[in-house]
Structure 1
Amino acid sequence: MISDKKYRFSNILNTRLGFFFLIVLLFCVKTYIAYLTKFSLGAKGGMQEFLLAVNPIPAALLTFGIALYFSGRLSYWLMMIIDFLETVWIFANIVYYREFSDFLSLGIIKGSGNVQNNLGKSLAEIIHFSDFFIFLDILVLVGLLVFHVIKTDAQPFKKRYALLISLISCLLMVGEYGLANANRSGLLTRTFDNNYIVKYLGLNEYAAFNAYQTQKESATRSHAKASDMDSILKYLKHTRAKPNPEYFGKEKGKNVFIIHLESFQQFLIDYKVDGKEVTPHINKFFHNKNTVSFDNFYHQVAQGKTSDAEMMLENSLYGLPQGSAMVTYGAQNTYQAAPAILDQQGYTTAAFHGDVPSFWNRDSTYKSWGYQYFFSSEYYKIKPSYSVGYGLKDKIFFKDAANYIQQLPQPFYAKLITLTNHYPYELDKKNTDFPATKTGDKTVDPYVQTAHYLDQAFAEFLNYLKKTGLMKNSVIVVYGDHYGISNNHRPAIAQLLHKKTINNYDLAQFQKVPFMMHATGLKGKVDHSYGGEIDVLPTLLHLLGDKDNNTIQFGTDLLSKQHDQRVAFRNGDFVTPEYTKVGSTVYLTKTGRAITPNAKQKKAIAAIQNHVTTELSLSDRVIYGDLLRFYTPKGFKKVNRKDFTYQYTKGIDNLKKAQETHPTSVEAKNGGKSTMNLYQTDAPELK
């Protein structure tokens, strides 16, 4: 009896339809296991759990069913090829999700050539041996076919049956979407969170929807017209915040330094390990009497990470829900960015970065933003010991950048992007003099060591600014661009926060990053207002005496009494002084207690959500449609990309000519002599 069952089962597997259902079953099972073990999709309740389990089935039937339209062995090998390609897609998302808590998008894939530098080391850290389990079924099936344990079915498969399977798969997709939309209303129209799409519909459906969105975005630009700006101008007319007279124009005409602290989170401020401060110098700067610091300031980035932070900081436009605006739209769009605004007010503008110029498409984007100079890795002396991870070590970078800073005609706007405190937080022993944390998470524990190194480099740079007099004549803006420790490290985060367990409220608050503005004579304070990176540009411009009444900026001045404290996250969640919304759960911000909103609270939360959704969509409309090409503010001149070149020899030549025509640089005021003898660093590589 048992042997008869085995015989019948073997016969079924030796048919093309039998093999088809076997390969689909194995694929769906491994996908579901990956959902549970490799992603944090947060399925709650019977319906969500059911949809998570069955969502691989419709797409698998459709994609593998393509092979049924072909005959003989070709049909079998097509199924195997499809299985391999689908598995590579899952594997790539597992690796990407582990670091970024998000799924791959077409924008990220298209832009991979701009962000692939030095990814080898990161991938080696991110990939786990257990990730390769998803290829196991392929190896087994190949073996079964090669050794004829499963025989190929040479009988022709009727096309109408193949068509029937395709039809069934489409009907299942429609049914799946109906159930998903009933459980999560407006799934594909209101949500900005890719986790929801994968949880409800599946990885393949997410990929298809993402491709549709990308195509739609491309069409949006081609169909955009000048009248599309009307709704945006009307919205901004009612949201602008008047400058605070106590701060407006107080730093007019001063140099501006934007110091970008890579992956630096707010919890590091005043944080101690074994009784020692991780960042003593940044702590001192944060609490200085001439520093305005914010302790409820959030990063608002999505997949674009650092590039999103730069987009918000210098344009007051949000990054995109998928991909990077700098990569996709950096060269083709029109912008009204901080460098261009200040250039037209007599500033020299320069960006400094110790990696290749193409990273995040900076060499193209910075021209659109109006940067006169871009001092990338091509401008610095590079030795193997000088770099770690994504570029120059911070102590060496700051010192090398100072050599060019001393040559910039004043006033200048200079942005310096640090790199050492970047995942995977690697640092050689001779530069490591601080204890790692002891969470047991190999990704998290060295984070404080690279942050401590960054703190030392920051102190050396400030010391140089004091010695040259630049400190007295500059506004120094310091900010963290995004999280350093992703939400996938919950147990370690709980230990860092000295808690037994953490919830989504804790993770939302963990997204705080530091924001500080320092100037000699500035009335300092620790401001508890809620804000984010979108608010930096209007705040800085008001401090410099620019009312910016006509520019397209979605942020509001953090120092204004009319500042909007509703902080929007790219996935549609938000934080305000009253409420923190994560997914479908609302917490009271002050206490962290999850609530079931009453009628009054529901009305208030709905109004905030409407504001967040509107603002994000309007900002997206500006970028997708390149709407700023239709609108030029009064007194602003459109940027001509052809005016700029970052090629080394031309850049150096332009800098020399600028010093001759505008001899206001630190070096010029020092009788044409270098001030680099004043720069002191303990970087062991330079000794």
Structure 2
Amino acid sequence: MNIKLERVKVKPFIDITEQFNWYDLIYIAFFMAAILCKAVFMQFQMHISFRPLFSKINIFMTISSVGFVLILFAFLFIFYSRNKVAFLIANIVLSVLFFSDAMYFRYYNTIISVPVISNARFLGSVGDSIVSLLRKSDILYFIDIPLFLLYSIIFRKKAVKSQIFSRLIISVFAFALGAGSFAVAKSQNDFSIYDNNYIVKNFGLGYFHYYDAKKYIAENLLRDKKLSSEEEQDIRNYLDKKSNNSVGKYNSIAKGKNLIVIQVEALQEFVIGLKVNGKEVTPNLNKLLNESVYFENIYVQVAGGNTSDAEFMTNNSLYPAKEGTAYFRFATNTFKSLPMMLKEAGYNTYAAHAYSPSFWNRTEMYKALGFDDFISQSDMVLDEFIGWGGWALSDDSFYRQTLEAIDKSKPFYAFLVTLSSHHPYSYFNDKDNFDVGKYDKTYLGNYLKAQNYADAAIGRFIEKLKKEGLYENSLIVIYGDHHGLPKDQAGDLFSLINVSNSKLEWAKLQKVPLIIHYPGLESQVVETIGGQMDIGPTIINLMGLDDYFVLGKDLLNCDKGYAILRNGSVITDEFYYFSDENKVYDFKSGKELDRAAYDEEIKRYLEDLRISDLILEKDAFAKMKFDR
């Protein structure tokens, strides 16, 4: 008996060759490679990640980034079709997002977040600033899109229409691989909730945006905004311990006097006393130092709100919002602000800024902070334009018109926010108001010209205050709001001031000048390290007000100097803790120190951020009862 055996062909569970062809696979492979390359390119372009490429941190960052691409593929593949529209739209959206990350990082030195994107419609026109931040290499974020579009059109008919069941199985597998990649990367790295750049550096740009979106949903859509009894007690204990309420040095020296606070746009500390070609950049401020208290170690603590964050800290001594800006997210909160304290003391309170009242949501926020009047562009005659592309009302006109609008028959608090020296300083490119020598027509040169003009306008304003009898009857506070030079301009600055180019030296330069003038104050230079959080408490001491609700310190009466940045970095006289590296360096020598020896001290400092976030995010002052 002859038995004929036949080979039986077993059909696989999913036959890839029947479901897809090489045109599909090539398209998908290129899509995934393109997204991965753009994300990693952005990190190296912005110097968030560094060579060597195969360092431990970069390897696990890449593993996490591959995980993001796999999970992205898993979701998109469910909707895969012949025209590949889901992949094409995703490519365009992510290209725009990564490009926006780069642009935002160049100015704010951090990654764009969901709260920033959600509030973007309130920010007004910043076209000139954006153009100045563009780089030729930015074309790489979009160069592949025309090729993908062309590929989709040419090979559309050759694509196979796959079954949904097959796509689901493959998507589940890809998702599991992606999630596993995230898990592997997280097992090898610490995690910082305070520093977005740290998250990007260790886990990749894609993971950050996933984490940021997840956190935004949890904190804004799903979060319980109820203040627990434990949280309330934590806040009370903190305020009780922090409050001084003792008669310190210069306490109440300016009680009952006018308060004039000038927040100067982009004024950094290094320009004070600086000479270029033998001439002072800020001769008027330098002269004012001779009859004022000058704080030379005040660090920039702003975050996503930039100028508005500086305003917020001065008037509340609360830290900026963890994400986005307090001026948008918490404009309906209850505050215990400086203008409110002065209103209770019988003062008229004014905020003034020569721009649209809706910019940074100032109209609503100034109401929440307790200002009686907001003098904005809408209330001014636009008679002279200097700075910010040539269409900003000049500081000279701003000072004059603001002073005219103030009722000077009774004590007043005037909070003035200047504009002429705003980034990108292009207005001063061809101006001869100040000779910057070899830096002419450079970013740094234009910045120095802008600050020289701002200084001249302050000088003329002070002379006007003297003529009107206000100079000797007012506490005058002048400070800068944030950095003026992005990090990619560090080279010219290091050359100008003859400082070595290092991360620590750059970090040390992120300071603003703080000048406080009052006839009874002894002229002196204070070296105490502080931040913009401390401006309000120092004013409160001099004005004889209640310091219970402030988180900052009185710079004239504190035992130890320090500054805590919104990203969780900590600066003291002894050390600088970089949260993005999770490393500690000796402040003077730059030598790396044993981080473990400083962990407990750093943790105590970071408690400030936790308490501030509780107060803001839970609207604690509206829910807590106080005897004062």
Contact 2:386 2:393 in 1 (8 A): yes
Measure, in 2, the Cα distance between the counterparts of 1:579 and 1:126: 33
- Compute the RMSD of aligned alpha carbons: 2.5
What secondary structure does 1:478 align onto? strand
Match of 2:144 in 1: 137
Cα distance in 1 for partners of 2:194, 2:201 equals: 13
Secondary structure in 2 matching 1:294? strand
The reply on whether 1:182 has 2:181 as its aligned counterpart is: no
Deviation at 1:614, TM superposition (A): 1.1
Distance 1:26 1:428, change over 3 A: closer
CA offsets 1:596-648 (integer angstroms, 9 cap, x no match): 32xxx843x2232112221101101110111110235434xxxxxxxxxxxxx
Answer with 371-380 or 520-529: which moved more: 520-529
**In the alignment, which of 91, 115, 119 is matched to residue 107 of structure 1?**
115
Amino acid at match of 1:262: E
1:73 is paired with a residue whose SS is coil
| Alignment gaps of 5+ in structure 1 | 1-8, 636-687
Q: Distance in 2 between matches of 1:157 and 1:384?
A: 67
Query: AA paired with 1:222?
Result: K
1:437–1:334 CA distance, 2 compared to 1 (3 A): farther
Closer/same/farther in 2, CA of residues 146 and 438 from structure 1, 3 Å limit: farther
Structure 2 CA distance for partners of 1:206 and 1:254, relative to 1, 3 Å? same
1:69 aligns with 2:78: yes
CA deviation profile, 1:305-349 (whole Å, cap 9, x unmatched): 11111111110100022210111111x211111111100001110
Displacement after TM superposition at 1:440 (Å): 8.5
How many angstroms does 1:459 deviate by? 0.3
Q: 2:416 aligns to what?
A: 416
Structure 1 letter corresponding to 2:494: A
Unaligned runs of 5+ in 2: 1-16
Q: Distance in 1 between matches of 2:508 and 2:46?
A: 24
Correspondence for 2:214:
212
Asked if the contact 1:220/1:625 (under 8 Å) is kept, the reply is no
Instruction: Give the Cα–Cα distance (whole angstroms) in 2 for the partners of residues 409 and 157 of structure 1.
Output: 80
Q: 2:304 maps to which residue?
A: 303
Q: Go from structure 1 to structure 2 and tell me whether the alpha carbon gap of 1:293 and 1:267 turns closer, same or farther (over 3 Å shift).
A: same
Q: SS of 1:529's equivalent?
A: coil
- Any conservation in 2 of the 1:350–1:373 contact (CA below 8 Å)? yes
1:224 and 2:227 correspond:
yes
Instruction: Provide, for residues 164-208 of structure 1, a one-character-per-residue CA deviation record: whole Å limited to 9, x for no partner.
Output: 33443343334334334423x2x1xx4411112112222232122
Deviation at 1:144, TM superposition (A): 2.5
1:92 aligns with 2:105: no
Most deviating of 568-577 and 32-41: 32-41
Question: Structure 2 counterpart of 1:279, which letter?
Answer: T
Aligned amino acid, residue 579 of structure 1:
F
Aligned positions of 1:133-212 closer than 5 A: 133-148=140-155, 152-157=158-163, 159-183=165-189, 185=190, 187=191, 190-212=192-214
Provide the residue aligned with 1:19 in structure 2.
27
Deviations 1:86-116 (A, max 9, x none): 111111111111221111111111211221x
> Are 1:246 and 2:254 an aligned pair?
no
Q: 1: distance between equivalents of 2:397 and 2:34?
A: 52
Equivalences for residues 335-484 of structure 1 within 5 A:
335-383=335-383, 385=385, 388-389=388-389, 391-405=392-406, 407-427=407-427, 432-436=432-436, 438=438, 442-484=442-484
Q: Which residue of 2 aligns with 1:538?
A: 537
1:234 corresponds in structure 2 to 237
CA contact (8 A) 1:392 1:419 kept: yes
Q: Call closer, same or farther: CA 1:226–1:421 in 2, change over 3 Å.
A: farther
* Equivalence for 2:13: none
AA in 2 matched with 1:573: S
Correspondence for 2:585? 587
Residue matched to 2:573:
577
Partner of residue 89, structure 2: 81
Q: Structure 1 residue 506: deviation in Å?
A: 0.6
- Deviation by residue 1:321-379 (Cα, 9 ceiling, x = unmatched): 2210111111x211111111100001110011000011111100111111000000011
Contact 1:333 1:623 in 2 (8 A): yes
Offset of 1:212 from its aligned partner? 2.3
Could you say if the C-alpha distance between residues 57 and 602 of structure 1 is closer, same or farther in structure 2, counting changes exceeding 3 Å?
closer
Q: Is the contact made by 2:386 and 2:420 (CA closer than 8 Å) also made in structure 1?
A: no
Matched, 1:48 2:57: yes
Q: 1:301 to 1:231 in 2, by over 3 A?
A: same
Q: CA–CA distance in 1 between the matches of 2:50 and 2:582?
A: 11
Cα distance in 2 between the residues matched to 1:353 and 1:60: 45
Q: Is the 8 A contact 2:20 2:162 kept in 1?
A: no
What amino acid is the match of 1:526?
Answer: V
Query: Normalising by structure 1, what TM-score?
Result: 0.83
Q: How much does 1:384 deviate?
A: 7.4
User: What displacement does 1:552 show?
Assistant: 2.1
* Alignment partner, residue 44 of structure 2: 36
- Cα pair 1:425 1:447 within 8 Å, conserved: yes
1:621 corresponds to: 614
User: SS of 1:258's equivalent?
Assistant: strand
Q: In structure 1, what is the Cα distance between the partners aligned to 2:219 and 2:485? A: 31
Q: How far 1:71 moved relative to its partner?
A: 5.4
Asked if the contact 2:335/2:621 (under 8 Å) is kept, the reply is: yes
Contact 1:244–1:559 (Cα < 8 Å) also in 2: no
3-state DSSP of counterpart to 2:540? helix
User: Contact between 1:14 and 1:151, CA under 8 Å: does it hold in 2?
Assistant: no
SS at 1:521's partner residue?
coil
Q: Is 2:66 aligned against 1:57? A: yes
Task: Please say if residues 428 and 450 of structure 2, whose CA atoms lie closer than 8 Å, have aligned partners that are also in contact.
Answer: no
Deviating more after overlay: 202-211 vs 264-273: 202-211
Residue 278 of structure 1 and its aligned partner are, at CA, apart by: 0.4
Read off the aligned partner of 1:575 and give its amino acid letter.
Answer: I
- Counterpart position of 1:491: 491
Distance 2:184 2:247 in 1: 51
Q: Does the CA contact (< 8 Å) of 1:69 and 1:159 recur in 2?
A: no
Deviation at 1:17, TM superposition (A): 3.3
* Alignment deviations for residues 54-81 of structure 1 (CA, whole Å, 9 cap, x no partner): 433222222233342235424x122111
CA gap 1:502/1:166 in 2 versus in 1, 3 angstroms: farther
- How far 1:157 sits from its partner (Å)? 4.2
Structure 1's consecutive aligned runs of 4 or more residues displaced over 6 angstroms after TM superposition are none
Give the conservation status (yes or no) of the 8 Å contact 2:429–2:441: no
SS in 2 for 1:78: helix
CA distance in 2, matches of 1:256, 1:194: 37
How many angstroms apart in 2 are the aligned matches of 1:312 and 1:221? 26
**Do the aligned partners of 1:474 and 1:519 also contact (CA within 8 Å) in 2?**
yes
* Aligned counterparts of 1:374 and 1:327: Cα–Cα separation in 2: 17
Q: 8 Å contact 2:348–2:410 — kept in the other structure? A: yes
Q: Which residue of 2 aligns with 1:120?
A: 127
Whole-Å Cα distance in 2 between the matches of residues 497 and 169 of structure 1?
52
- Report the Cα distance in structure 1 between the residues aligned to 2:61 and 2:441, rounded to whole angstroms: 28
Q: Distance in 1 between matches of 2:530 and 2:405?
A: 33
- Write the distance in 2 (CA, Å) between the matches of 1:631 and 1:480: 33
Q: For residues 247 and 180 of structure 1, what CA distance do their matches in structure 2 show?
A: 51
CA pair 202-345 structure 1, distance change in 2 beyond 3 A: same
Structure 1 Cα separation of the partners of residues 172 and 410 of structure 2: 67
Change (3 A) 1:154 1:72: farther
Count of residues paired in the alignment:
606
Match of 2:513 in 1: 514
The offset of 1:502, in angstroms, is 1.6
Contact 2:528 2:560 (8 Å CA) reproduced: no
Q: CA deviation at 1:513?
A: 0.8
Q: Counterpart of 1:679? A: none
Q: Secondary structure at the match of 1:427?
A: helix
Letter in 2 for 1:80: L
1:53–1:451 distance in 2 versus 1, CA, 3 Å: same
Q: Percent identity?
A: 28
